[in-house]
Structure 1
Amino acid sequence: MIDLLFNLALAGKLYQRIADHKGNVHLIHTVRKDEFDSLNIFEKYAFIFETFWTRYDFGEIANSYIFSRDPIDRVVETIAFSKPGEELRSGAFSGYEMDDPIFSSYSVIIQYLDYFGLCTYIPVVENGKKLTKYDDRIEAVIPTEFGVKVCKILAEYDILNWNIPWLKKNGLYEKNISDNSHFGVDLFSQLMNVRGRAKASRSRKRKHKRESVPFYKLLEPVFPEGVLNKTVTAEIHKDVEGNYVFKVSLGRGVWRKIKISSRHTLEDLHDAIQMAFDFDNDHLYSFFMDGKKYSDNAYHAPLLDEGPYVNQVRIGELDLYEGQHFLYFFDYGDSWEFDVQLLQINRDEPLLKKPEVIEEKGKAPRQYGYYYDDDDEDDDWGE
């Protein structure tokens, strides 16, 4: 729960990361946090739940970069058509009693929905305790009356399509969508055809297209009348104009400092790194923004099967903070791992037209080690 709330506070932009002059990272609260503090308890719940549903990376829920959103769909639809207090056991979500991952590998979904009050659950225990302290298997899921009502709304409006990390990963996110909790019907109508939900009739589409409804207003039927009046609307602009100085390191004592403008893309940064280290730019690559290889928080080379892609995002849109580290992973075969650190953002300079290498240290390795001559065997790069 601590991990969940920490990530929701960042995803909702109630707090931002900053680094001090030593590179130590801290959190500072934003004007959105001040606005959040002024909400009543029902409005706070609606904002946190909306942040979870629209901005939390569902891939992180299952702790797997190959995670599909289908389990989330099944959980919501099953609870929506269940009876409050009914015990749902293995097979209730998948239809296969012996193979229902909601009760094992994806049980964290239920734990999160339990936190939001949509259900409770009975853990698997033996002799009065869990099999191990790490065992999160579930024996039964019990929808609450509140949970059934909320899930009916989620299923009706197809809000599952409004998860921004998923939209970005699938190249469906429109940058002109408001960042102020008013995703509304415009996004809904765009995506109904993309996912091809046959159950959505034409009349239903027309019904939803007549007006744009902020997310928190959709929850009004399940709360006391008149308590949902506002949400967090203050904007935290992501685009930070200026020239960015990155330190790109490879091995001990081998690094290049690259200056690049906020209007350049991650693809431009990739090209600059390749030139700075004299590589051949002949393989696929990814930027993992949390520094975790194969995480979902990534931007990929355009030729990879899944986005988001490096040519779709500018440096200034990444919401980077000075001192931040991320991973540039080049060549999925030979696995070159570059540590990239943002040293500073120069906001008062004219924007560079082309990236520049402004400082370097150490001899870069040859990209293909098997091309070494005998005379190169003692070439101890990076020492």
Structure 2
Amino acid sequence: MQNYSASSNNGHIEQLSFESLLGDTNDQISPNTQVNQITTKANRETFPIHLVSDFERFMDYIEQHKIHLTNTNEYISKKHLPAIKDRMSIKTENATSYSQQQNYPYIHFFFHIALSGNLIMKAGKFKKLHLVVTERWNTFQKLTDTEKYFFLLETFWTNANWEMLLDKQHTGIHYILPDIVENLLDKKSDFCLQLDKETLVANLIFDWNYFLLYFEWFGLWICEKDQVKIDYFKKKNSYFAKSLTLTDFGINMLPILMKSRNLLIWNIPLRQEYGEVNPIPGSTLPEENDGLIKTKDQRPQPFHQAFATLFSKSDLNKSLPRMEQNFTNGVHTFKVAFDDIAWRKIVLSAKHTMDDLHKVIIRAFQFDDDHLYSFFMDGRKWSKSCIVSPDDRSGKPNAAETMIGSVGLYCGQRFLYLYDYGDEWKFTVIVDDIQETASDPTTPYIAEAVGYGPDQYFLIDDK
């Protein structure tokens, strides 16, 4: 495509422009318009701009409808999925009226990006959740198309949990990706990786599935679909590629992304996996893995700044402010629910610990405090994003050493409290309010109690 490369003949860098990506297809589509599927290679090279347009259509639908979430995975209910799909430029093949969100990879991708970027959040009662659009969505809409793209890329790269995107407990993508990119950037191979001939590489990315397409949707490479392999394995939600070919855009973007935005330093879930509670993307890694925040005072530059030389300042100048904070002072009110009819409101100061929160929950529901527990901050049982009991030897952040104000909580946030690793009592914890100017309570207390909690030790009659 013309005007797509950042390298000119005289060695200077030419600035990229999203408008140039549209070429002859410069037809802006209304968010309400149904669109045809993109199929040609030329159109697939324009994915950066189409990604932004499709995401806006996705968000527009969420804003206009009350989207109820499923009970099990808390995903978009299936009745909305066909209508959202019709708005997208990428259609899901073989989807039926019974297909769940996971069967719509493009929508599934946008759902996780919107949640991770805090453009939408879950609201409602216990198991009757629905999606609401946050104020950040209004701020997002004021960005340029280029800035919108980089916010989506930043959210995917720094905030999104790649294991959740793949619905896996473990993934080594972050370890393998640098080698894949290095092979792709080899000019001798014409920036193409023939996976059907590279058996070792193909085996390494065997379970990447639609993750291969995520990079295509960001406009970084193009996948050649391997239908024979897909038909052979017949795995649900599986995707295989014969080859990966870098776009001109990817040739310019990926070296910066891999070098200046190293995943191990910039991805929050990865840093949490190694023991940090509220890591700042791009900040210096802690010297010791003891669960405490030990980042430098100097904040890293904004994510998009590394790519500023590729674009004009009028196209790429800002992004949405990041959500993390070093420490949030004030009074924190939590709503802790066992179910719809049994919940407690609990009040603590920012300087109380997560272990203090545990103790008052146990007291509020009249449980004995004689078992291990964990707070799973992404709401997923046994995920790596957790703060654990002082007696838990897993190496995760210690609740007794983690102050509530250091966790980076925000109003409306939901997470899981699991007590007793054997019986697995589960409670949903919602950050109900944070008053930064209020006087701190010296002792945690129960502000409100509704309904009877469960019996920790119940007896079954022998008959």
TM value normalised by structure 2: 0.60
Q: Hey, what's the Cα distance between the residues in 2 that align with 1:215 and 1:20?
A: 36
Q: Structure 1 pair 140/155, CA: closer, same or farther in 2 (3 Å)?
A: same
CA drift at 1:278 = 4.6
Q: How many residues align?
A: 337
Q: Hey, what's the Cα distance between the residues in 2 that align with 1:314 and 1:192?
A: 19
CA drift at 1:119 = 1.0
Pairing partner for 2:116 from 7, 11, 15: 11
Q: Hey, what's the Cα distance between the residues in 2 that align with 1:74 and 1:57?
A: 21
Kindly report the root-mean-square deviation, in angstroms, between the aligned alpha carbons of the 2 structures: 4.1
Q: Hey, what's the Cα distance between the residues in 2 that align with 1:72 and 1:194?
A: 26
Give 3-state SS (helix, strand or coil) of 2:223's partner: strand
Q: Would you say the 8 A contact 2:335–2:431 is kept in 1?
A: yes
CA drift at 1:73 = 3.5
5+ residue gaps, structure 1: 178-182, 196-210, 370-375
Q: Would you say the 8 A contact 1:329–1:335 is kept in 2?
A: no
**Equivalences for 1:224-263 in 2 at 5 Å?**
224-234=311-321, 239=328, 241-249=330-338, 255=342, 257-263=344-350
5+ residue gaps, structure 2: 1-105, 290-298
Q: Structure 1 pair 34/290, CA: closer, same or farther in 2 (3 Å)?
A: same
Pairing partner for 1:164 from 258, 261, 268: 268
Instruction: Please tell me whether residue 86 in structure 1 is matched to residue 192 in structure 2.
Output: yes
Match of 1:147 in 2: 250
Q: Would you say the 8 A contact 2:332–2:347 is kept in 1?
A: yes
**Equivalences for 1:41-190 in 2 at 5 Å?**
41-68=145-172, 69-81=174-186, 83-89=189-195, 96=200, 99-100=203-204, 102=205, 104-126=206-228, 132=234, 134-160=237-263, 161-172=265-276, 177=280, 187=283, 190=284
Deviations 1:76-115 (A, max 9, x none): 43334465552331685xx825732x1x212333111111
Q: Would you say the 8 A contact 2:210–2:238 is kept in 1?
A: no
Pairing partner for 2:353 from 260, 265, 270: 265
Q: Structure 1 pair 319/363, CA: closer, same or farther in 2 (3 Å)?
A: closer
Pairing partner for 2:303 from 215, 221, 225: 215
Q: Hey, what's the Cα distance between the residues in 1 that align with 2:128 and 2:207?
A: 37
CA drift at 1:49 = 1.1
TM value normalised by structure 1: 0.71
Deviations 1:280-321 (A, max 9, x none): 434332223444322344333343424355343516832241
Q: Structure 1 pair 74/191, CA: closer, same or farther in 2 (3 Å)?
A: farther
Q: Hey, what's the Cα distance between the residues in 1 that align with 2:316 and 2:334?
A: 44
Deviations 1:332-354 (A, max 9, x none): 2x232222253843859754322
Pairing partner for 1:337 from 425, 449, 453: 425
Q: Hey, what's the Cα distance between the residues in 2 that align with 1:262 and 1:5?
A: 35
Q: Hey, what's the Cα distance between the residues in 1 that align with 2:121 and 2:201?
A: 44
Q: Structure 1 pair 91/152, CA: closer, same or farther in 2 (3 Å)?
A: farther
Pairing partner for 1:356 from 445, 452, 455: 445
Match of 1:314 in 2: 404
Match of 1:208 in 2: none
Q: Structure 1 pair 143/271, CA: closer, same or farther in 2 (3 Å)?
A: same
Q: Hey, what's the Cα distance between the residues in 1 that align with 2:158 and 2:315?
A: 19
Deviations 1:190-231 (A, max 9, x none): 249899xxxxxxxxxxxxxxx96432122235x454454412
Match of 1:203 in 2: none
Match of 2:21 in 1: none
Q: Would you say the 8 A contact 2:337–2:344 is kept in 1?
A: yes
Percent of residue pairs bearing the same amino acid type: 23
Q: Which moved more, 1:355-364 or 1:162-171?
A: 355-364
Deviations 1:149-202 (A, max 9, x none): 222112332521211221223234766x4xxxxx66xx2xx249899xxxxxxx
Pairing partner for 1:285 from 356, 373, 376: 373
Q: Would you say the 8 A contact 1:240–1:317 is kept in 2?
A: no
Q: Would you say the 8 A contact 1:89–1:139 is kept in 2?
A: yes
Q: Hey, what's the Cα distance between the residues in 1 that align with 2:336 and 2:182?
A: 48
Q: Would you say the 8 A contact 2:126–2:337 is kept in 1?
A: no
